[in-house]
Amino acid sequence: MSDQMVEIVDNLITKVCDNVNTVVGYVFSKQLYYHCNRLPKVKGRAFLVHELIKAYGLTTKCLIIESVAANDLQMRCFHSEDYLNFVKHVSDKMLSDEDFSEEFISEDFGIGYDCPPIPQLYQLMTHIAGSSISAADAIIQKRCDIVINWFGGWHHSHRDEASGYCYTNDIVFCILHLLDNGFDKILYVDLDLHHGDGVQNSFIHTNKVLSVSFHKYEIGFFPGTGDTNDVGFGSKGKYYSINVPLKDGITDECYVNIFKKVLNKIQTAYKSQVIVCQMGADGLAGDPMNAFNLTIDGYSECLKYLITINKPLILLGGGGYHLLNTARLWTSLTACALNEQLDNDIPDHSCFLAYRPTYELNIEPSLRHNLTSNEYIDNILENVYKNISFKKRTIN
């Protein structure tokens, strides 16, 4: 047998083995689906995402993880009693989207412009929080190697307020559940366009969670945090927050190069037991945020790298305001987790006509100039490496 044939056979065997050995879970419930479709800034997005994933037949290749809503006791593990009481008041009194009143607005609790009051708000929060607790459960019980929850990833919410379109922080609930069940070296990776401030702030004093966020950073851009000097606090938490601020127009090649270099350093210094990754789609070319210039290929390369670390992995959604492109991305990443190849021609399904005129899965980059210069990258990586080095010494 020729060397070329040996390589082909080896690749086929590897692919078969990967598919046999890797169990991919997909978090879903009808109630979760219903509530996520009501989210004001991304209405109908959950429908588009789930329908495209189904259209490619990917749900049949996943283990369906039934999402269970968080109970009152679980909700109080993170959110303050005052915040939850106000949300319950909105839920009890607000009967429809048109039933607007000043009594449902609170600057103190962040319920207003970015996070408007909506009916059944408390129920929505419990289902979103519960979805990522359910994802963590599947890892804790060793039912899956990879768990996907595109309904989660709401990384801006804080203990006592909604923020940045996020009413609750399911990621914090997910990590808390992992911490309560034997995991004490958790790597949180945030690929959203925006800094994962809510998650970082929740674990900023501990060395049990290492948070690394790749995001746009400039004066006036929400949430205004995530500089390289933002490294955590205290004897345990300092240097367990790693931030990689990037600039507009960054391309797949540039982004993936930075990502792999940083993650490689982190993995050397911090032997994680489990990885939680938020994969917000607002860095895609064509997103209304109009910042990064990424495509499906860039995100997929990052995911492939995370999979090679060979640790339990939870994948979450997040931002993504070009709803069709978000569906394209998360469908492609679901296939990537399953080690499946997808046809570029989108299958006929209930949302098929929405993908006109191309009816294709692929997302082309724009012609935007990449402001993340080589000099800037070198400077950022130097600072990040120093922070990781300091953190390594604190571990030792």
Q: How many domains does the chain have?
A: 1
43 is a domain residue: yes
Give the pLDDT band (50/70/90) at residue 17: very low
Active-site annotation holds for 156: yes
Integer Cα distance of 363 and 355 in angstroms: 12
Q: What percent of the chain has pLDDT over 70?
A: 93
Considering the domain boundaries, does residue 389 fall inside one? yes
Answering whether pTM is above 0.85, one says yes
5 within some domain: no
- Report d(CA 362, CA 117) in Å as an integer: 36
pLDDT at position 392, please? 52
Looking at residue 2, its pLDDT comes to 45
H or E, element range at 187: strand 186-190
- Taking alpha carbons only, the member of 362, 279, 270, 278 closest to residue 309 is 270
Catalytic option among 79, 156, 158, 195: 156
Amino acid 151: pLDDT:
98
Average pLDDT over residues 29-51: 97
Residue 185: pLDDT above 70? yes
Q: Does the CA dihedral 90-94-100-101 come out positive or negative?
A: negative
Confidence of residue 9 (pLDDT cuts 50, 70, 90): very low
Residue type at position 273: Q
Asked whether residue 8 is domain-assigned, the answer is no
pLDDT at 373: 94
Per the domain annotation, does 260 fall within a domain?
yes
List the CATH number of the domain containing 242. 3.40.800.20
Given a contact cutoff of 8 angstroms between Cβ atoms, the answer to whether 226 and 156 are in contact is no
Tokens of 42: 């991304």
Residue 182 lies in a domain: yes
Mean pLDDT for all residues in the chain? 93
Q: How confident is the model at residue 384 (pLDDT cuts 50, 70, 90)?
A: very high
Residue 177 within a domain = yes
Asked if residue 197 is part of any domain, the answer here is: yes
| DSSP three-state, residue 319 | coil
Q: Which structural domain range is residue 134 located in? A: 13-395
* pLDDT 10s digits, 141-160: 999 999 999 999 999 999 99
